[in-house]
A = this chain, B = another copy of it.
Amino acid sequence: MERLTLHEYGPSGNCYKIRLTAALLGIPLERRGYDILKGETRTPAFLGSVNANGRIPVLQIGERFLPESNASCVWLASGSRLIPTDRFDHADMFRWMFFEQYNHEPNVATVRFWLSMIGEAALSEAQRAQLPAKRAAGEAALALMEEHLADRPYFVGDALTLADIALYAYTHVAEEGRFDLSAYPAIGAWLGRVTQQPGYIGIGE
C-alpha cells in the first residue's frame, strides 16, 4: 500500500474519524499536525499543496491528497466490513454520513469548538449570536439519533459501519460543548458499543 499521511489537528473529531477507521482496520497512518488556532492550514504552502480549501483533515495517499473526513474514511474502508454491500444499506450509510456533515457537525462540533477551544469569552459577536440556534440544532440532531437508536444497535444493519464512526467522533465529546448526553440513553448505550470494537482507540491516542 502507498504511504499514508494524515494531515490533521489532534483534537478535531473529523481527524479522529480517520484515525479510528484506520485503527479498526489495522492500517498504519503517519500523522502530521497543524495548529488551526494559529492559522497553520491557511498558509500559502498548505493551500498550494495540501488543500486549497484550507481545512484539515486531509489524507495523503502517496503523492495525492484527499480532503473531507468522510471521504478519507471511504478510501480507507474500501472493500472492508465497515461499508455494507447491500444496495439499500450502502446508500443508507451515506445518508447518515451526509446527515452528520449537514445537521450534526456544524452544530454539535462547532459549539464544542467555540466553547472548549476558542472559549466563550473570546467568541465574536456573530458567533455569540449564532450559539442558541446552533445549540437547538445540535439537540435536534441528537434527538433524531436517539430515536433511531432506540431499537437498533448501530445506525445501519446489525454491525458497525462508517456511519457509526462518523457520528461517534463528535457525539462522544458533545459534553465539551455542554450538550447533556444523560438525556440520550440510547446514544449512551451505542457509544459504549463503539468503544468495545476490537482495535478501538480514543480521540487522545
Q: With A75-B87, A78-B90, A91-B75 in contact, is A68–B99 under 8 Å at CB?
A: yes
A101 close to chain B: CB less than 8 A: yes
Please determine whether B75 and A88 come into contact, CB atoms closer than 8 angstroms. yes
- Asked if A171 is at the interface (CB within 8 A of a chain B CB), the reply is no
Of A24-32, A59-67, A114-122, A184-192, the one contacting chain B is A59-67
CB neighbours of A144 from chain B (8 A) = 52-53
* Complex Cα spacing A29 to B94, Å: 21
Residues from chain B with a CB closer than 8 A to the CB of A75 are 87-88, 90-91
The secondary-structure label for the interface of chain A is helix
- How many residues belonging to A are interface residues under a CB distance threshold of 8 Å? 36
Chain B residues with CB under 8 Å of A106's CB are 102, 106
A74 within 8 A of partner (CB): yes
Not counting A53-B99, A75-B87, A102-B105, a sample of 10 additional A-B residue pairs whose C-beta atoms are within 8 angstroms of each other reads A66-B92, A70-B94, A71-B95, A74-B91, A78-B87, A98-B101, A102-B102, A102-B106, A126-B129, A129-B129
